[in-house]
Amino acid sequence: MIDLRIKKLFFDQPKVQRATDKARRRVLSRAGAFIRQTARTSIRKRKGASPPGSPPYSHVGLLRRLILFGYDQRTDSVVVGPVKLNKPSDAPHTLEFGGTTVARRTMLVRVGDTGRDRRGRFTRGKRQLVKAGTRLVYKPRPYMGPAMQKELPKFPELWLNSIRPG
């Protein structure tokens, strides 16, 4: 009688699983880092408000610094985005998707379009006094969604030769 052990011809399943898990963590973390960097660089330091539909301008640099990424072992995914602020307003979410807030104090705001008029002269819009309690409407200025779309074509390349023996 011949006793043939076929198991020796197959992969060492636990070893392959460990290598695959390690590669997945590494690739997802790199993808998260790329998205974070693209989102950070899209937010430029400028005065005033950015045009709706383009990434917001940075005045202090807080939003840029608070964009982080992290690998979540429980869901086996990577999370990229701004950290939730310790304030009642949800400014990062409002910037990304648009929305409304209530003015907490009386302030001067610019109303109207900024840019160039028909003659090519720069215009800033008019200043208007907004009292506390007034409802303010913000148009979306997405920065995370476009960063993800820009980096998406690079993801398959990250997986190339990512599983290594060892």
Q: Is residue 47 part of a domain?
A: yes
Out of 1-5, 44-48, 72-76, which region has the weakest mean confidence (pLDDT)? 1-5
Question: Same domain, yes or no, for 71 and 152?
Answer: yes
SS (HEC) of 72-101: ECCCCEEEEEECCCCCCCCHHHHHHHCEEE
Q: Same domain, yes or no, for 17 and 75? A: yes
User: Has residue 53 got a pLDDT over 70?
Assistant: yes
Q: Which residues contact residue 89 at a Cβ distance below 8 angstroms, ignoring those fewer than 6 apart? A: 101
The separation between CA 133 and the C-alpha centre of its own chain, rounded to angstroms, equals: 30
Residues 60 and 121 in one domain: no
How far apart CA 96 and CA 134 sit, in angstroms, is 21
Residue 47 in this model has a pLDDT that exceeds 60: yes
Structural domains of the chain, count: 2
Check whether 107 has a pLDDT greater than 80.
yes
Give the residue from 137, 15, 155, 146 showing the smallest Cα distance to 77: 155
Q: Are residues 72 and 116 in the same domain?
A: no
Conformational region of residue 135, where left means phi above 0, alpha means psi within -120 to 50, and beta covers everything else: beta
Residues 120 and 68 in one domain: no
Full residue range of the structural domain in which residue 27 is found: 12-86+141-161
The amino acid present at 72, given as its one-letter code, is D
154 in a structural domain: yes
Q: What is the pTM of this model?
A: 0.80
Classify residue 122: in a domain, yes or no: yes
Q: What are phi and psi of 148, to 5 degrees?
A: -65, -45
72-92: per-residue pLDDT in tens?
A: 989 989 999 999 877 777 889
Quick one: 77 and 114 in the same domain? Answer: no
